Amino acid sequence: MSTEVGGPGEVTVELRIEPFAAPAPPARHRGTCAPGQGWYAAARAVAAERLPDQARWQLLAEDLGGDPLRFVLVELAGLAFRPLTTGDLGDLVRWQRARHVAPWWRATSVDLDAARERYAPAIAGEDPTRHWIVECHGRSIGWVQDYRIADHPDWTLTTAPQDAVGIDYLIGEPAHVGGGLGTRMLSAYLSEVVAPAYDTGTVFAAPDHRNTASLRVLDKLGFARGTWFDCPVPGEGASTVIGCTLDLVAAFGPR
């Protein structure tokens, strides 16, 4: 990704404003991200020049894989995250079985009993992995999780940076797939949930190498594709995945 403009290390950010009930203005507003500032902070500074009060707005990545780095400021985007509860497990199992999810799902909790066994420790606060339900305008539509790679010995044997935070994600409701929501969902998740909670400099994700939609979302969030490796799949051998990393310092500033 080549984004240098102006002085060494500077990048250009571009902002589009998307009102809720009115046509989006065609203008895109630009600013410069200074070294160490963080892409999101630079975009928010551009936004503040146009909309000082952003209480009703969410700043979301649109495409951070090129030059300039493109953001969108969305009024009433409606994206929120709440901790997973036992009452969500039925939805989670249904999502994992969905046609657009099942080919990429490497876990074993594809029935309710297995899901209770798998997620009960985390729900009870006995497992350090954090699980979240994604809501869009109050409706549960997906799931995300974050965890320290070092807390999972099986992952420490992979190419993942040992001090990284790992993430996994899915949009479960078919009606919300394919419209660009995945990029916005993960942008909000990284900005509002992951970045404030960890002092590490790297986020790691490892989609199946055939899952082009997931890989494209990570590209648009500024992740860099890295090493391919085989990830064990219970009862099925292994799937070949691509380790992808995001520099949290570049995206959000010093930790």
Looking at the fold, whether 95 and 43 belong to one and the same domain comes out as no
**CB of 64 closer than 8 Å to CB of 203:** no
Tens digit of pLDDT at every position of the chain (255 positions): 333 334 556 899 999 999 998 887 888 999 999 998 999 999 999 999 999 999 999 999 999 999 999 999 999 999 999 999 999 999 999 999 999 999 998 776 678 999 999 999 999 999 999 999 999 999 999 999 999 999 987 766 667 888 999 999 999 999 999 999 999 999 999 999 999 999 999 999 999 999 999 999 999 999 999 999 988 776 667 889 999 999 999 999 998
Looking at the fold, whether 103 and 160 belong to one and the same domain comes out as yes
- CA–CA separation, 7 and 16 (whole Å): 24
Tokens of 221: 């969030």
The upper half-sphere exposure of residue 172, i.e. CA atoms within 13 Å in the direction of its Cβ, equals: 22
Looking at the fold, whether 65 and 85 belong to one and the same domain comes out as no
Residue 167: phi and psi, rounded to 5, are: -135, 150
Phi-psi region of 9 (alpha: psi -120 to 50; beta: other; left: phi over 0): left
Looking at the fold, whether 100 and 151 belong to one and the same domain comes out as yes
Looking at the fold, whether 154 and 198 belong to one and the same domain comes out as yes
Looking at the fold, whether 99 and 208 belong to one and the same domain comes out as yes
Residue 6 belongs to a domain: no
Looking at the fold, whether 166 and 47 belong to one and the same domain comes out as no
Residue 3 belongs to a domain: no
Among 38, 56, 75, give the residue marking a domain's end.
75
What is the domain-level CATH number for residue 185?
Answer: 3.40.630.30
Tokens of 57: 């707005």
Residue 2 belongs to a domain: no
Residue 121 belongs to a domain: yes
**CB of 141 closer than 8 Å to CB of 173:** yes
Distances (CA, A) of 37 to 60, 77, 92: 17, 25, 37
Residue 243 belongs to a domain: yes
Q: Based on the structure, what is the number of domains in the chain?
A: 2
- CA–CA separation, 134 and 125 (whole Å): 19
Among 25, 49, 75, give the residue marking a domain's end.
75
